[in-house]
Chain A
Amino acid sequence: MEGDEIMSEQKKGQSIEEKQYLVRFNADTKSHLTVMDEDICLTKCPDKICTIFCPAEIYKWENIRMHVGYEGCHECGSCRIGCPHQNIKWEYPKGGHGIVFRLA
C-alpha cells in the first residue's frame, strides 16, 4: 500500500501541524537550509520527494518554487541525504538555535 492510501485511512489521526505544535523551536532569523538551484526542483524533480519524506513537512511546493519552512526543522538530515539531486545545502543552525527537545 502506498502513501496516499494510508493518508485516506488516517483522516482521524493527528496532523503534522498538531505534532509540530508539541515541539519547542528557537528559530534563527536566517535559514540553515538552502535549495541550491531552484530550477532543478522545477524541471528535474517531478516527484518533489522532499515534500513527502521530511518528518516535519517543512518543504512545500508552491506553484513554481520550493518553500522551505526552516523554522520547524528537526535537523534530522534526511533532506540532505534523500534529495535525489543533492540540491539542498544543509548546515547546522547557529549554536543554541533550532529545535529544542525537552524529553526523549
Chain B
Amino acid sequence: MPEKFDCIVVGAGPAGISCAYELAKGGANVLLLERGEYPGSKNVMGGVLYRKMMEDIIPEFHKEAPLERPIVEQRFMMMDKESAVTFGYKGLEWAQEPYNNFTVLRAKFDQWFAGKAVEQGALLVNETVVLECIVENGKVVGVRTDRPDGEVYADVVVLADGVNSLLGKSLGFHKEYRPDEVALATMEIIKLDSKVIEDRFNLEKNQGCTIELLGDATRGILGTGFLYTNKDTLSIGVGTLLSGLIEHKIRPYELLEYVKTHPMVRPYLAGGEPVEYLAHLIPEGGLKSMGRIVADGVLVVGDAAQLVNAIHREGSNLAMTSGRLAAATILEAMSVGDFSERTLDQYRVNLMKSFVGQDMKKYKDSTHHFNKFPQYFDQYIPMVNRAASQMFTVDGKSKWEKQKKIWKDLGSPKEKLKLARDAYRAWKVMK
C-alpha cells in the first residue's frame, strides 16, 4: 500500500462508493476503506434504491446490477388495531425503463457497486477500521487505522462512515446525537416463493411493491413500519425514534413481532421463513442536526452528514448525490492544488443547491413537529379508521346520521379546534 493517496474515503456504503467511483473515474488515486468483511456486510436499509441518483453515476446500471424488483406500486396503510385505511399508487410506467426505483439487498448491491469503483481504479481495502483522522496544523492529512503500521496519508479524507460517525464527532463536527435525533429500525428478511409473492401482492413477474405502515404499526410512537417485496424474500421492518422506545419502554424486536403478527400484515407473511434479522440506526434529525461537513482536507457525506429525508423514506439517494458532488469538488481542488476549506466548501454550496439541500430545508421541522405532537399517530389515525368504518358499514342508518356520528367522534368544539390547528400545523411543516 503506498503511503500517500490523493484521497481516502472512509466507509464503503452508497455515499463512500459513489465518491470513490467518481474520483477514480476522474483520474484520482483513491483508497476506499471498509471496516466489514466486504462492502454491505455492516449496512442496513429498508431496501429501496432510487434509479435516478444511481444513474447519475452509472448509466443503465439496472442492466447488470443485482437488483430485486422494480417497484410499480407504493401503498400506505394507516393502521388501527384491527383495521387499516389504505391508499397508494400503482403505475406500469414504473415497470418499464427508465424505472423509478428498485428493491435491493444491500450486501449484494454494495459489493457489486464497490466492484465498479475498483474497476475504475479505486483501491478497496476491507476489514479496516479507521480509528482517527491525522490532523496537522488544523488540517486533516490522513487516517490512522487498526492495521499494524496503519497510517495512511492523503490530500483529502472523505468521511462516509455512516450514522455512527465517530470520526466526525472526534473532529468536533457534531455533538453526540440525542435519542430523539435517531430512529432505531429492526427488520427481518422472510423467505417466500416468488410466485406466492406475486400472487399475494397482485404483481406480474419481476414487479415489486412497497407498503409503508403507519399508526398502530408503531403502537402510536413516531415512526413507520415497512413491507417490501424482493425477488424471493420480503423485507418487513419497523423503525421509531429511539426516544420513543425509551419513553414507552418497548423492546424493538417485540415491536417487530407485533407488526409481523398484526392482522393487517400477517397474511402477507404467512408461510414465510425468517432468514436474517437486522438492526440499524437512521439519522432522522434533519437539517437542524446536521453538523459541519467541510473543513481543511476533509468532507462528510451520506448518513455521516445526517442526509436523510425521513418523511419520504429517502437516504441512499441523498448519500449517492452527496458522494458524487463531493468527488466533483475534490477533482476541482486537485486541479488547482488547494485542499483548504475555502476550496472544498464548494461541495457544501452545491449540495445545498441540489435536491438534497432543498429537501433537507423543506422538512427541517417535520420530525421535531410530529415528535412534539404524538396525537397524529396515536389519535388521528384511529379516528380516520373509525370514520371509514362508519361510512362504509351499511346498517340502515342514513349517511346524514353517520356523518353526525363522525363529527361527534371528533370531540368537543375545543377538541375540534385543536384538530384543525394540528391539521394546519402539519400542512405548515410539510408544505
Contact = CB atoms under 8 A, between A and B. Distances in A.
A104 B110 CA distance: 10
Given A82-B242, A82-B246, A100 B253 contact: no
B124 interface: no
Contacts of A57: 251, 253
A7 B276 CA distance: 22
A7 B189 CA distance: 22
A78 B242 contact: yes
Contacts of B254: 3, 6-7, 10, 13
B129 A104 contact: no
Interface residues of A, number: 48
Given A26-B37, A76-B184, A78-B242, A49 B276 contact: no
Interface string B35-66: 11100111111110000000000000000000
A23 B189 CA distance: 11
Given A6-B258, A92-B35, A96-B37, A102 B107 contact: yes
Interface string A53-72: 10111000000000000000
A99 interface: yes
Contacts of A52: 245-246, 249-251
B179 A101 contact: no
Interface string B113-153: 00000000000001111000000000000000111000000
A14 B257 contact: yes
Given A81-B176, A81-B179, A3 B251 contact: yes
B280 interface: yes
A7 B36 CA distance: 34
B41 A55 contact: no
A104 B107 contact: yes
B219 interface: yes
Contacts of B179: 81-82
Contacts of B182: 77-78, 81
A81 B35 contact: no
Nearest to B275: A22
B161 to A, nearest CB: 9
Contacts of B45: 104
Interface in A1-25: 1-4, 6-7, 9-10, 12-14, 16, 18-20, 22-23
Contacts of A104: 44-47, 105-107, 187, 189, 230, 235, 276, 278
A46 interface: no
Interface in B139-197: 145-147, 163-164, 166, 176-179, 182, 184, 186-189
Contacts of A19: 188, 253, 274, 277
A20 B189 contact: no
Given A53-B246, A96-B37, 19 more contacts: A7-B251, A7-B254, A9-B258, A12-B261, A16-B253, A18-B274, A19-B253, A22-B276, A23-B278, A49-B246, A77-B281, A81-B179, A82-B245, A95-B146, A96-B36, A102-B107, A103-B275, A104-B47, A104-B107
22 contacts: A6-B250, A7-B251, A14-B257, A18-B274, A22-B275, A23-B278, A55-B184, A55-B253, A76-B279, A78-B281, A81-B281, A92-B35, A95-B127, A96-B36, A96-B127, A96-B128, A101-B278, A103-B105, A103-B189, A103-B278, A104-B44, A104-B189
